[in-house]
Chains A and B, each alone.
Chain A
Amino acid sequence: MKKSLHTLLKLTNFEMERLSKFLFTLMGLTLLFNLVGYIYTPMQHMGKINEYITQNSATTQQALDAFGRFSFYDVTQTLWIAGPIAIGVSGLLLYSIFIWYREWFGKNTFAYRLLMLPVSRMTLYFSKLITVFIGIFTLIATQMLSLFIGHPIVSAIIESAYFNDIGLIASIQMNPLFLYLFPLDFSYFLMVNGVGIVVLLVLFTVILMERSYSFKGIAMGILYGIAALSLVLFPLFLPNLLNNQYILYDSELMIIIILLTIIVGVLSIFTSRHLINKKITV
């Protein structure tokens, strides 16, 4: 047990080394774009106010009536914040595919060496899964820290008369994007990440099917993906099938969906184990 854990740690560390350059680039991009947003957005707002006051000889109150108060929430709404998040999500999603295919399409078929290692092949599988999740959580952590840095910057740039200090947490809570990323509502955060893990598990299974059966594997993978999605969404059709819209409460439907999602996750792990141990070819 201890040995397999040590192997998992070594393989995860190995995968992290390979991800690190890409991850540090995404972290850098996040911080850079965010920083531009923290400085540019409030300065642009102050610029508009100053121009309005100068051109119309307006008072502070008139400027407030025209532009309203600026809050940190206004910055979190911009593309300077949402953009890097979108880049990070799509980047890591692509990396989840790349993390497998790089073993086959490198200069040497590195997959051969990896699969010949005297360790369980599932250790390799889990190391890749953990690596992707460390990547995801690292980007979330970077975004969190960035917001902590950004809040005082924005409040320093905007003159206090024009600033609506609703607080950092309120600004975050008001933005629906952060509801998915941050543990604002713990059960919701757990559910979103649970769905994320299962999506990755299904994706890994599809990739392993393709690696195992080539073109036939692509068709199998697509069918598996559709079947997994259908199984998870099946409870939504239960009220129609049972001829009663109120036979189950919405919370109960959600619990059934969560259970089926877990089943799909477990099924994907076992299917992947079978494929990686018995079917995969180099």
Chain B
Amino acid sequence: MNKYVKLTSLFLLIALAFIGFSIYKAQASSPYSQMKVVTTEGKPEYIEPVDFFGYVSHSQNFSNSSTIEFNDGAFSYLQEKPFLKRMDHSFDPKLNDLVDNHRSFMRGKSRRPEQYTETDQHLIYAGSKTDVDWNSSISNQMTISVLDKASDEEEAYSVTIGDDGAYNDVYATYIDYPTLTIFVNRSGVSDTSRNLVYTFDIENPTEALTEVVDLSDYLDKNETLSVSQLSDKTERYIPLKTVRQTVVSDYDYTTETSGYFAYDVEAQEVIEIPPLEEETLLFSDNDTIYVGKPLNESIELYEMNPDDKEMTLLGTLEMATPIMGQEDSSFYSDRFNQSVTILDGKLYTYGQEYVDEVSRPIFQITDVHTQETLFKGTVMPKDMTEADATSIEVMEYRLDPLRN
């Protein structure tokens, strides 16, 4: 036995170290700050439809930064998810839900959330071959796939879009079942791209998409189109705005909103929205168009009649800070209403508050009809000693209409 002393000792050393390390690791607290929702006004259950991905950093220890997910009212860290689960992770909460719940349907389809829309019964995807195969040649074919959630059956339609060799970029999809509305930017044929709205009847499929409106008619030469971020892509009206770009130098340009519109999915027409004196907020919810005037720490909210464009003042919604309801310039330029939206009669807003070099998100949910604040609060570490040094930045945010 004595001749095996070295081998035995090394085995014991390895076993001792690994067992000791595993026990120590199991007993040690998580290196990631445990978070909690702090409600300063209203009831915490109202925040449940909110999903977000955030970046958590510590001013005393920048190396210990991590990605936190808030989903279904609970926090989890990306770094603590299993290795293989982490590999399929997307920073878009909607895409994560789609992959988790409809993995088979999502296979082989683009990973851009704007190409998906859903109802309680159906999940619909619209995309072209170039969305999934970046080397493929441009064609005027598009695939529309419809998943019946109850039976898990998928129906796919190959349809033509236009008759030229344009590159088709689907940048928004909406469903008023069975009519699918697709916003497409077509480029590559002439010097300027065209923004077109197409429809497709899922119950009576045709071989080609039906062009209904050319939104380019509403755009001047230096203007681009921005589409409202809608949590529920089944709304009747789709808020749009035109953004004018002014070149300042070779490397810089400024942007300003030049017009507001709403696309009526049912009537298939564009409604011009008269802008308010200063900045204008434009929302839609179910069959209603809302127009807001952001004031210093409040939003004056109107309901607009689409027929005569008459505005009816609903009331003034007090905001937690002036930043609430304001657009963050760091967001995607082709979308707006990314931090403020109305869903089922409730105005959801979030903003970032900076106090003593610490950044924290503030969430507010207000009833648009009673102007009552249903929820106001923030997210911070459970351990209050960490609160003064922990910053939480929201990276991706969305509302889950099915949880509203």
List residues of A whose CB falls within 8 A of some B CB. 9, 12-13, 16-17, 20, 23, 68-69, 71, 73, 77, 134, 137-138, 140-142, 144-145, 148, 164, 166-170, 173-174, 182-185, 187-188, 191, 240, 243-251, 254-255
Task: Give CA–CA (A197, B10) in the complex, Å.
Answer: 19
Q: Given A16, A169, A187, A249, which contacts B82 in the complex, CB threshold below 8 Å?
A: A187
13 pairs, A vs B, C-beta closer than 8 Å: A71-B61, A137-B18, A141-B18, A144-B17, A148-B24, A164-B61, A166-B61, A167-B29, A169-B31, A170-B31, A188-B83, A247-B107, A249-B103
Taking a contact as CB atoms under 8 Å apart, the answer to whether B132 and A244 are in contact is: yes
Task: Give CA–CA (A144, B83) in the complex, Å.
Answer: 23
Task: Give CA–CA (A182, B24) in the complex, Å.
Answer: 13
Q: Interface majority SS on A: helix, strand, loop or mixed?
A: helix
Taking a contact as CB atoms under 8 Å apart, the answer to whether B132 and A141 are in contact is: no
Taking a contact as CB atoms under 8 Å apart, the answer to whether A170 and B64 are in contact is: yes
- A106 smallest CB distance to B (angstroms): 21
Taking a contact as CB atoms under 8 Å apart, the answer to whether B109 and A246 are in contact is: yes
Q: Which residue of A lies closest to B64 (CB)?
A: A174
What residues on A are CB-neighbors of B111 within 8 Å? 246
What residues on A are CB-neighbors of B106 within 8 Å? 246
**Which of B84-92, B204-212, B333-341 contacts the other chain?**
B84-92
List residues of B whose CB falls within 8 A of some A CB. 3-4, 6-7, 10-11, 13-14, 16-18, 20-22, 24-25, 28-29, 31, 60-61, 63-64, 82-85, 87-88, 99, 103, 106-111, 132-136
Q: Given A138, A168, A254, which contacts B24 in the complex, CB threshold below 8 Å?
A: A168
Taking a contact as CB atoms under 8 Å apart, the answer to whether B13 and A141 are in contact is: yes
Q: Which residue of A lies closest to B26 (CB)?
A: A169
- A15 smallest CB distance to B (angstroms): 9
Taking a contact as CB atoms under 8 Å apart, the answer to whether A13 and B135 are in contact is: no
Please give me the 10 A-B residue pairs with the lowest Cβ-Cβ distance, nearest first.
A170-B31, A141-B17, A169-B28, A250-B87, A251-B84, A144-B17, A251-B87, A243-B133, A187-B83, A141-B14
Taking a contact as CB atoms under 8 Å apart, the answer to whether A69 and B60 are in contact is: yes
What residues on B are CB-neighbors of A9 within 8 Å? 4, 7
Q: Which residue of A lies closest to B10 (CB)?
A: A138
Taking a contact as CB atoms under 8 Å apart, the answer to whether B28 and A167 are in contact is: yes
Task: Give CA–CA (A164, B389) in the complex, Å.
Answer: 12
What residues on B are CB-neighbors of A191 within 8 Å? 83
Taking a contact as CB atoms under 8 Å apart, the answer to whether A73 and B18 are in contact is: no
Task: Give CA–CA (A12, B8) in the complex, Å.
Answer: 11
What residues on A are CB-neighbors of B60 within 8 Å? 68-69, 164
| Given A134-B10, A187-B84, A169 and B110 contact (CB-CB distance below 8 Å) | no
- B25 smallest CB distance to A (angstroms): 5
Task: Give CA–CA (A185, B4) in the complex, Å.
Answer: 33
What residues on B are CB-neighbors of A137 within 8 Å? 14, 18
Taking a contact as CB atoms under 8 Å apart, the answer to whether A174 and B31 are in contact is: yes
Q: Which residue of A lies closest to B17 (CB)?
A: A141
What residues on A are CB-neighbors of B87 within 8 Å? 249-251, 254
Task: Give CA–CA (A60, B133) in the complex, Å.
Answer: 59
- B158 smallest CB distance to A (angstroms): 15
Taking a contact as CB atoms under 8 Å apart, the answer to whether B136 and A243 are in contact is: yes
Since A137-B18, A245-B132, A251-B85 are in contact, a sample of 13 more A-B pairs with Cβ atoms closer than 8 Å, ordered by chain A residue number, is: A9-B7, A23-B10, A69-B60, A134-B14, A137-B14, A138-B10, A138-B14, A167-B31, A174-B63, A246-B111, A250-B87, A251-B88, A254-B87
| Given A167-B31, A174-B63, A249 and B18 contact (CB-CB distance below 8 Å) | no
